[in-house]
A and B are shown apart, each in its own frame.
Chain A
Amino acid sequence: MNLKRKEAEKLAARTPSFEEMTASLHAGPRLARGMIRETRDVVAYCRKFCDEVVRPQVLELDRGLHEDPDHLPWDFVKKANEWGFYSLWIPRLLGGHGVNFSSLSYAMEEIGSVCLAMANLIGVHYLGFGTLTSSGNARLMRRLAQDVVAGEKSGEPCLISLAITEPGAGTDVEEVDLVDKANLGCQARRVDGGYEVNGSKVFISNGHLSTWHMVISYSDLARPSETTVMMAVKTGMKGFSFGRHEKKMGQRACPASELVFNDCFVPDELVALDDRIAQTFTRSQRETGQQMIDYVVSTSRAAVGAFGVGAARGAYEAALKFASETVVDGELLVNHEWAQCWLAEMLKNVTLGRLAYAETNYANGLYGMFKLLHEEPMFSIMRLTPRFIYERYVAPLLEKPGATAFYRKRSYDGQSSCEQHRTSGLASIAKFAGTDFGIKNCQMALAFMGEAGLRQDRGAEKHLRDAKLLQIYEGTNQLNRLNLFKCLIACGCDGARVFEEKEGGLS
């Protein structure tokens, strides 16, 4: 190859950039070796959990929750607590088990392939915790993590939900570019010593089951992008209550709730982030807001992609089982050539979806939320340091403002715009590809299985009912396509603008 270094660099920087194409290639050599073994054990542990806990009860539970839609499946929730799933991915530094973050996606695929509602119970809890992490507020992170760990010891689960969506604003609150035009109704008004919250949040996964709720609100509804407030609200706090328990098509074991705030006072110690804190960042408040959203959704969208892959896999496995047991036109279905290609297509969907979320997680390890903890020597230090050292020496440090400042500096100021766009763009691909594959495979399984696929007691139809949600939350798949355009296409395309569409022509 007769290339000068400068020339090679220039050519490689051309769209799509070499970095965008090769996150795994860059991440591979830097990954701590222990991660492979640890991830394998996570996958194995999830399989055991599914065999012993989830699979035996999931269809009956689904039926029961149709019979009594208001029932809260505490036994199911407690099982995951007993197995340690709510603290498995919380860093050891904060009292959790500290398993590497990217293994969460593989876990979500495993559990999602059996029951998406259980995957959502666990996954959404980490969405809540991850959102808090994005604020960098080490003291609050420690407080909630301690509650989660204590809940595991006492047998009373402590889950964390994330509340952003409002009755009038769903897509709009997922995007800084849209939020200023949103029809918002939930306000956090600054008062002495904290905020007073009024309004409601809707469709909040795990709402009724959670102890803590990470609530995103705005102190000035006319300037939300500059006045975002992130706070932790605890179930039982004065002025906070649950409203409607939604009647969903699927994922019945994971309730979607309305959260109602009525002069709810949230003290400063529970405020993870607001405009006063945001002013201390290098970037503008608006840019910081977008960076934080990207920081969180780059991990959560990979996980939702993994949910989709789980659905795709569950459907594929149901179809394969059916084909191996059913004689059609005098021959096992699995021996018809067209059926072999049908199943191959389904497995392709599973595999491509998995590659997409895995690649996103490599990018998160290189540039995003996982960066701090995934590389050596940090990875090994975290595992080898005895727990009492954390508790005696490290924990008190987390209470100091310096810890928060360091974390924020490292996470945000240390991330370039290109890196931010790369992870966010890849995450959107993982999200809409994985969830579209999920729906596609569920529909392929039902087309393949005829009437057998339609019976609830055969399991295949539940995958479809559960999976449809995945194309809607964590940003609809349309919003994710637009985010991908914004992050990885618009920058190389002069004159391109997003969310500023002019009407005319065929409108």
Chain B
Amino acid sequence: MKEGKDRELSLLAKAAGEFGAKVLAPSREENDQYPFGPLFEPALTRAFDLGFLHAGLPENLEGLGDRLAPLCALLENVARDDASMAAVILTTAFAQNILLEAGEEERFKSFAGGSWTWADVLMAAPLFRDPTETAPGLTAEKRGETFVLSGKSDYVVLGGIAKRAVLPALDQAGALGYYLVDLGGWGIRKSGPVFSLGLHACPAADLEFSGAEALSVGKAGDGGKLFRAVSQRFSVAAAAVLSGIMRGSFKEAADYAKKRQQGGKEIIRWSELRMILASMVQGVRSTGMLVTEACRLWDAGDPKRRSAALSAFLHAAEAAISATTDGIQALGGVGYMKDFGQEKRFRDAQHLSAAFGILPRKKLALLKLTMAGE
């Protein structure tokens, strides 16, 4: 995205980029390995110190404020080197924002205020899975002031690590709502980290609940509304992560093409290879512009901000899948190997695009918004 003359954004982008290059890149391969080792604690500690894990919060909660642009600038620049960390920040911010959107700021402060380490801040969520698309496997039953959860919640991102999660569940009347759960509590079985396509250093777990205590978030039956409000805003943030992945892929491809020789010259001097790089640039530039514009509309409270956000995400998903496929291709055989970042970017881009739920259905959602004049 374009930071333009916004000094605050430029500084943030620079800090995030340096963090990616210095802290994340050197151990990217190691952190990505399956079976997963311990979480990349030093990197998380540094991210916490830099305030990145609070990034999605308003200023009064030590975050980057209500504007979307700073969060996107941060995510994009972190993702250039390792999208897993960007996904950790994104997931936590998403879960935090479900709470805030539901008006639960006081409750949030009660456990997150004055956090000392990254472990206090991380929050888990089934990322962007739309609970109205396929019904959640979790039910919530009222017991006095609180609720108890039963059933399964699959693929809860950070579910094996975070202390708390925000999860969708159906109440006894079948109404969809969100619930705040203490993951250290009784009645919760966690699987090991789920082996997935990408984003390995942002692991997910399947959670099984049998009478675990939970607090309702917002009003009963507001789950769909909450999800839509937060996920639409965060679809721009996800587009920013995809944009960062693409930028990283392009840089690696272009650097390699300037050095690698075939046919008696650097491969960048073959115009077909340049055409591949050009397509990547097209994806990078167009996505960057859409993310910038979607941030602007969102931050201005524009009535068309929702459709702009979804368009940015859908475009970013297509462009990132295509660019990272090309990003491997430009390197030939070495692009397929773990030693280079390209195969990881290819997996991460595809992963993040599909973690949002059924992609073509999102297109229909865009149409619906547009037809409604939004």
Which A residues are within 8 Å of any B CB, using their own CB? 63, 66-67, 165, 168-172, 178, 181-183, 202-203, 246-250, 326-329, 333, 338-339, 342, 439, 443, 446-451, 453-457, 461, 464-465, 468-469, 471-473, 476-478, 481-482, 499, 501, 503, 506-507
Taken together as a complex, chains A and B put the C-alpha atoms of A182 and B195 apart, in Å, by 41
Q: How far is the CB of B325 from chain A (nearest CB, A)?
A: 7
Q: Is B328 located at the chain interface by the 8 A CB criterion?
A: yes
What are 16 residue pairs bridging A and B, where the CB atoms are less than 8 Å apart in the complex?
A: A63-B195, A248-B337, A249-B347, A446-B350, A448-B359, A450-B133, A450-B354, A450-B357, A451-B154, A453-B354, A457-B194, A461-B196, A469-B336, A476-B329, A477-B329, A507-B271
- Give the shortest distance, in Å, between B310 (CB) and chain A (any CB): 15
Contact (Cβ within 8 A) A455 B195: yes
The residue among B196, B197, B358 with the most chain A CB atoms within 10 A of its own CB is B358
Interface residues of B in 331-345 (CB under 8 A from A): 332-333, 335-339, 343
Instruction: Report B291-342 residues with CB < 8 Å from chain A CB.
Output: 317, 321, 325, 328-329, 332-333, 335-339
Give, as a whole number of angstroms, the nearest-CB distance from B242 to chain A. Answer: 13
**Chain B residue at minimal CB-CB distance from A178:** B263
Cα(A168)–Cα(B198), bound, Å = 30
In the assembled complex, B34 has its CB within 8 A of some CB on chain A: yes
The 8 A CB mask of B334-374 against A (1 = contact, 0 = none) is 01111100010011001101111111110010000000000
For B361, the closest partner residue in chain A by CB is A328
- Determine whether B60 belongs to the interface, using a CB cutoff of 8 Å to chain A: no
Q: Are A455 and B350 in contact (CB under 8 A)?
A: no
Complex Cα gap A326–B357 (Å): 13
Tell me whether A171 and B134 are in contact (CB under 8 A). Answer: no
Within the complex, the shortest CB–CB distance from A435 to chain B, in Å, comes to 11
- Chain B residues with CB below 8 A from A168, complex form: 261
Instruction: Determine whether the beta carbon of A476 is less than 8 Å from that of B364.
Output: no
* Chain B stretch 232-284: residues in CB contact (< 8 A) with chain A: 261-264, 269-274, 276
Beyond A476-B329, A499-B263, A507-B274, is A468–B336 a contact (Cβ under 8 Å)?
Answer: yes
Determine the chain B residues whose CB is within 8 A of the CB of A450 once the complex forms: 129, 133, 354-359
Sample of 8 further A-B pairs with CB below 8 A, known A182-B263, A476-B332, A503-B269: A66-B195, A170-B262, A172-B263, A333-B358, A464-B350, A471-B325, A472-B329, A507-B271
Q: A170-B262, A451-B129, A464-B350 are in contact. Are A327 and B135 (CB under 8 A)?
A: yes
Q: Which of A333, A465, A499 contacts B197 (CB 8 A)?
A: A465
- Contact between B195 and A327 (Cβ–Cβ < 8 Å)? no
Question: Counting CB contacts under 8 A, is B179 at the interface?
Answer: no
User: Closest CB of chain B to A118's CB: distance in Å?
Assistant: 18
Q: Which residues of B contact A456 (CB under 8 A)?
A: 194-197
Partner of B333, one of A328, A465, A472, A481: A472
The closest CB in chain B to the CB of A203 belongs to: B333
Q: Residues on B close to A: CB < 8 A? A: 33-35, 126-127, 129, 132-135, 154-155, 194-198, 261-264, 269-274, 276, 317, 321, 325, 328-329, 332-333, 335-339, 343, 346-347, 350-351, 353-361, 364
CA–CA, A235 and B364, complex, Å:
58
How far does the Cβ of A117 sit from chain B's closest Cβ, in whole Å? 13
- B372 vs chain A, min Cβ distance (A): 17
A503→B368 CA distance, assembly (Å): 49
* A328–B339 alpha-carbon span in the complex (Å): 40
With both chains docked as a complex, state the minimum distance between the C-beta of A205 and any C-beta of chain B, in angstroms: 11
Chain A residue with the shortest CB-CB distance to B34: A66
Q: Is the CB of B129 within 8 A of A171?
A: no
Q: B155 touching A249 by the CB < 8 A rule?
A: no
B354 near A248 (CB under 8 angstroms)? no
The minimal Cβ–Cβ distance linking B122 to chain A, given in whole angstroms, is 20
Chain A: minimal CB distance from B175 (Å):
16
Which of B33, B333, B346 has the most CB atoms of chain A within a 10 A radius of its CB?
Answer: B333
Instruction: Given A67-B35, A249-B338, check contact A468 B325 (CB 8 Å).
Output: yes
Give the residues in chain A near B337, CB-CB below 8 Å: 246-249
The answer to whether residues A165 and B155 also contact, given A67-B35, A456-B196, A456-B197 and a CB cut-off of 8 A, is no
Given contacts A249-B338, A468-B325, are A457 and B195 in contact (CB under 8 A)? yes
For B354, give its contact among A249, A451, A471 (CB under 8 Å).
A451
Instruction: Determine the distance from Cα of A455 to Cα of B134 in the docked complex, in whole angstroms.
Output: 17
Residues of B within 8 A of A461 (CB): 196-197
A66 to B339, CA, bound (A): 14
CB A455 to nearest CB in B, in angstroms, measures 6
With beta carbons under 8 angstroms apart, the residue of B127, B262, B270 that contacts A501 is B270
Query: Which chain B residues lie closer than 8 Å to A329 at the CB level?
Result: 132-133, 361
**How long is the Cα–Cα vector from A143 to B318 in the complex, in angstroms?**
51
Most buried by B among A443, A447, A456: A447
A99 → B minimal CB distance (Å)? 31
Residues A451 and B332 in contact, CB atoms below 8 Å apart: no
Q: How far is B273's CA from A152's CA once the two chains are assembled, in angstroms?
A: 44
> Contact: B34 with A439, CB < 8 Å?
no
Chain B residues whose C-beta falls within 8 Å of the C-beta of A472 in the assembled complex: 328-329, 332-333, 335-336
The listed residue with most A CB atoms (<10 A of its CB), out of B155, B262, B273, B361, is B262
- A170/B155 in contact, CB under 8 A: no
Distance, CA A250 to CA B343, complexed state (A): 10
Q: With contacts A181-B263, A249-B337, A451-B354 known, is A471 near B329, CB below 8 A?
A: yes
Query: Are A327 and B336 in contact, CB atoms less than 8 angstroms apart?
Result: no
Q: How far is the CA of A407 from the CA of B369 in the complex (A)?
A: 69
Asked if A169 meets B196 with Cβ closer than 8 Å, knowing A248-B338, A249-B347, A503-B269, the reply is no
Q: Is the CB of B351 within 8 A of A454?
A: yes
Q: Which residue of B lies closest to A443 (CB)?
A: B321
Q: In the complex the two chains form, is B262's CB within 8 Å of A464's CB?
A: no
Q: Is the CB of B355 within 8 A of A328?
A: no
Query: What is the CB-to-nearest-CB distance from A203 to chain B, in angstroms, rounded to a whole number?
Result: 5
B269 and A455 form a contact (CB under 8 A): no
How far apart sit A501 and B271, CA to CA, in the bound complex (Å)?
Answer: 8
- How many Å lie between the Cα of A465 and that of B134 in the bound state? 27
Q: Whole-angstrom distance from the CB of A41 to the nearest CB of chain B?
A: 35
Which residue in chain B gives the minimum CB-CB distance to A62?
A: B195
In the bound complex, how far is the Cα of B167 from the Cα of A288, in angstroms? 67
Q: Note all chain A residues with C-beta closer than 8 A to B335.
A: 472
CA distance A48 to B79 in the complex (A): 45
Q: How far is the CB of B115 from chain A (nearest CB, A)?
A: 29
Distance, CA A363 to CA B160, complexed state (A): 56
Closest 10 CB pairs of A and B: A181-B264, A461-B197, A447-B359, A247-B338, A249-B343, A456-B195, A66-B34, A450-B357, A454-B197, A446-B354
Looking at B126, B127, B346, the one whose CB has the most chain A CB atoms below 10 A away is: B346
